[in-house]
Amino acid sequence: LNSEGVMVVGYSQITLQDGSKASPGKDAGLKPGAIILKVEDTAVQSDTQLSYLIDQEARRKKQIRLKIKYRGKVSEVKVKPQFCGETGRYRIGLLVRDAAAGVGTLTFVEPKTKKFGALGHMITTSGPEDSWDFQDGRVVSAVVQAIQKGERGKIGEKIGFFGGNDISGKINKNTAYGIFGRLQQQVTNPLFPEPISVAMSHQVKEGPATILTVINNRTIEAFKVKIETVFSRPRADGKSMIIRVTDPDLLRRTGGIIQGMSGSPIIQEGKLVGAVTHVLVNDPSQGYGVFAEMMLEEAGLLPGRTSMIPLEERLAV
């Protein structure tokens, strides 16, 4: 995902000629989560461009203006860059980034429009919840190389890399219910070669279910879970149900729900009912899920919907 401007994520002190340390950005009041929008009158598009602009402007003047946004408020700050002998350029002593990336799971694709939904939750940053100004992004194929097993108090993780051209698409929404957009090509699922029906929220019930996920290479596998609780009123962050992993094989291999499983489809009685979203840190065998219906609404696949009413769609998962 790419954002508007460049986000401050930390501090990186500059070693001055006299050996002392300095972070002009910190001294000017810039905090992690702040978005740097402009240097003087030039819009910032990337972290490398920001570095170049700071150096160029600082060679002309001692103090430069930065236009920033923090917690929804836009303001201007003045910073005095310092020359860094180690890099040979003027710096303001900040760690920044212009994009976010990670491994997650594609939940569904609507075959006719190629619209997709994934993750089941918003991609956020280490800054304030409202600091990430989504601009655009893309989805690509990934390969799972290894598993860092989860345990009580320690969240596990899928370890992989981006590669291949079998999946590619543009992200146009990043919301509390996931990321959404349109793929450039059709995708296949050997476990479900044909589209399946989608259950509306009132059809989801407590009891046995199945999740689909990848924990080795690109192989999609099915594992048993139990929907333990269905919330009559989903939370604002999309959490709609509590699930527990009951499959001995998945528990042995991953310890339960781990990072990278977000978006894994939850299927009950042959219908897509939701997606895995979060793990309980103190019990990785348990986690949360979001209703598939809520994801469909965000994807624009339930036009004219203003509330959750019975309706059935067919999607490829």
Q: Which residue among the candidates 55, 131, 247, 264 is catalytic per the annotation? A: 247
Res 257 pLDDT > 90: yes
Q: Per-residue pLDDT averaged across 23-36, rounded?
A: 93
CA–CA distance, 147 with 179 (Å, rounded to integer): 24
Task: Give the 3-state secondary structure of the chain.
Answer: CEEEEEEEEEECCEECCCCCEECHHHHCCCCCCCEEEEECCEECCCHHHHHHHHHHHHCCCCCEEEEEEECCEEEEEEECCEEECCCCEEECCEEEEEECCCCCCEEEECCCCCEEEECCCCCCCCCCCCCCCEEEEEEECEEEEEEECCECCECCEEEEEECCCCCEEEEEEEECCEEEEEECCCCCCCCCCCCEEECCHHHCCCEEEEEEEECCECCEEEEEEEEEEECCCCCCCCCCEEEEECCHHHHHHHCCCCECCCCCEEEECCEEEEEEEEEECCEEEEEEEEEHHHHHHHHCCCCCCCCCCCCCCEEEC
Would you kindly state where each structural domain of the chain is located, as residue ranges? 2-99, 106-315
Which pLDDT band, with edges at 50, 70 and 90, does 256 fall under? very high
Q: Which residue among the candidates 3, 262, 264, 285 is catalytic per the annotation? A: 262
Q: Per-residue pLDDT averaged across 58-72, rounded?
A: 93
Res 299 pLDDT > 60: yes
Catalytic annotation on 262? Answer: yes
The CATH number that domain 2-99 falls under is 2.30.42.10
Which residue type is seen at 139? V
Res 86 pLDDT > 90: no
Q: Which residue among the candidates 121, 131, 240, 278 is catalytic per the annotation? A: 121
Q: Per-residue pLDDT averaged across 233-253, rounded?
A: 95
Catalytic annotation on 98? Answer: no
Res 309 pLDDT > 70: no
CATH 2.40.10.10 for domain 106-315? yes
pLDDT at position 1 is 67
C-alpha 39: how far from chain center? 28
Catalytic annotation on 201? Answer: no
Which pLDDT band, with edges at 50, 70 and 90, does 133 fall under? low
pLDDT at position 237 is 86
- Least confident residue range of 5-19, 33-47, 94-108, 216-230: 94-108
Q: Per-residue pLDDT averaged across 94-117, rounded?
A: 88
Which pLDDT band, with edges at 50, 70 and 90, does 313 fall under? very low
Give me 288's structure tokens. 């949360």
- What are 107-132's pLDDT values in tens digits? 999 999 999 999 999 877 655 544 45
Give me 208's structure tokens. 């046995």
